[in-house]
Amino acid sequence: MAFDEMLTAESHPRLPYKTYHEWYTNQDAAHLIRKTQDAENIFRKTGITFAVYGHADSSEKLIPFDIIPRIISAREWRKLAQGIEQRVLALNAFLDDIYHKQEIIKAGRIPRQLIEKNSAFLPQMIGFKPPGGVYTHIVGTDIVRTGEDQFYVLEDNARTPSGVSYMLENRETMMQMFPELFALNKVQRVEDYPRLLRQSLASLAPPGCKGKPRVAVLTPGIYNSAYYEHSFLADQMGVELVEGGDLRVIDGRVKMRTTRGYEAIDVLYRRVDDDFLDPLTFRPESALGVPGIMDVYRAGNITIANAPGTGISDDKAIYSYMPEIVEFYTGRKAMLENVPTWRCSEPANLKYVLEHIEELVIKEVHGSGGYGMLVGPTATKKERAEFAEKLAAKPNNYIAQPTLALSTVPIFVNKGIAPRHVDLRPYVLVSDKVQIIPGGLTRVALKQGSLVVNSSQGGGTKDTWVLED
């Protein structure tokens, strides 16, 4: 039986939801149905969409939004925030170490081949320290809950974590539709995120920066599934949105084409993957990046956020070592636990996973968005057999985890409320300090019984409230 975050087994509201539950029970169902339609209209007018690759109808889709907020107490949030901060600092220390002294490998805590044979490990970053020593400027840590005080980290997103625009739009929509709820509940703010993001990025401008740092967002372009977010964040921060074709290296600086000629950029928040960042260093055929940007970066004349090479910390095989990584760099046990993980690269683990495939969730080590995975308990016999063949052929590509009983929160349906499984992606900004936005993006599986919350797989989103004390 999954833990329900709003209601006890006796259908009494838990403390964080008490005020909201009283309000909800006095609402007319027809009024709430109209509010759901209003929210959809707001999202449609604003253009809050995402693209699904690989579908015949891969046009922009409206992201489903549920009007019942997910509510977290101040006490619960403090526990989460402490664990997230510890983890993010450990990840940054780990990245600095593997690109420099590699003490964790020398100590035998992580196998050398797991780093050096990893496609996300960039030899070009060896010996180079980014401005301020920060690799992971923006992190999205995916958290799942299984009980009153049981939280687990599902994965780390340190490459280019997405979804923060939905967090901001969800809050704005809720405030527009239900202002009375924000008068009844003291909810911590998320609206400051764009300002904090710009400040955090600007604070890590390279040493040669003169005057106010110029920040820009680099997008692959309008056909990218997260283009809405790229343009939204640039607009909210008040900075330029640029594509690779707008930039060129001139006199050892990355410069942006403007009506006044080319002007230097100090900090580039890139939403382009490493492989496509610089055709002179990585993929020669890439038209998305900037030829020569890595030379400018290594010369200390631009800050790239997140740093190239951070993607190795998203690798799910690396994730399985996170308890050791946290302890190695912080000297303390991890405050937030990992989900138990079998590395299929190890023969004994592979044997166990193949024998228990109907019980487990199996994921690609570089996978994201809910693609390339098998949810054993809900897969057909044929799907399991086909996946077992892929697994046996390339075991290094996969990890496996138990099927957790993810917590549920209510969603609004025409008949009232119904429980659905959720996860949470809090957003973290790292500069000379760590700032964690109170709440984050709650993703919800809209299909009854489904554990897959990704929007690309039919999931939706909710506003996440962290209450004040």
> Domain containing 235 — which CATH number?
3.40.50.11290
pLDDT at 56: 47
Q: How far is CA 79 from CA 69, 90, 258, in A?
A: 20, 17, 46
Task: Mark 99-124 as b/e (b = at least 16 C-beta within 10 Å).
Answer: beeeebbeeeebeeebbeebebbbeb
What integer pLDDT is reported at residue 330 of this predicted model? Answer: 97
105 and 223 assigned to the same domain = no
Same domain, 69 and 178: yes
Same-domain check for residues 115 and 43 = yes
Residues of the chain with pLDDT below 70 are: 49-60, 367-371, 455-457
pLDDT value at residue 173: 94
Domain that holds residue 247: 207-301
Alpha helices in 178-310 (DSSP H): 179-184, 193-202, 227-237, 293-298
Same domain, 51 and 159: yes
Alpha carbon distance 413, 66 (integer Å): 9
How many domains does the chain contain in total? Answer: 3
pLDDT above 90 as % of the chain: 81
Q: Are residues 78 and 171 in the same domain?
A: yes
For 63, which DSSP code?
P
Rg (CA), the chain: 22
Which residue do the tokens 């299929």 mark?
344
Q: What is the pLDDT of residue 47?
A: 73
d(C-alpha 234, C-alpha 227), whole Å: 11
Amino acid at 287: A
| pLDDT computed for residue 63 by the predictor | 82
Q: Which SS3 state, helix, strand or coil, does residue 359 take?
A: coil
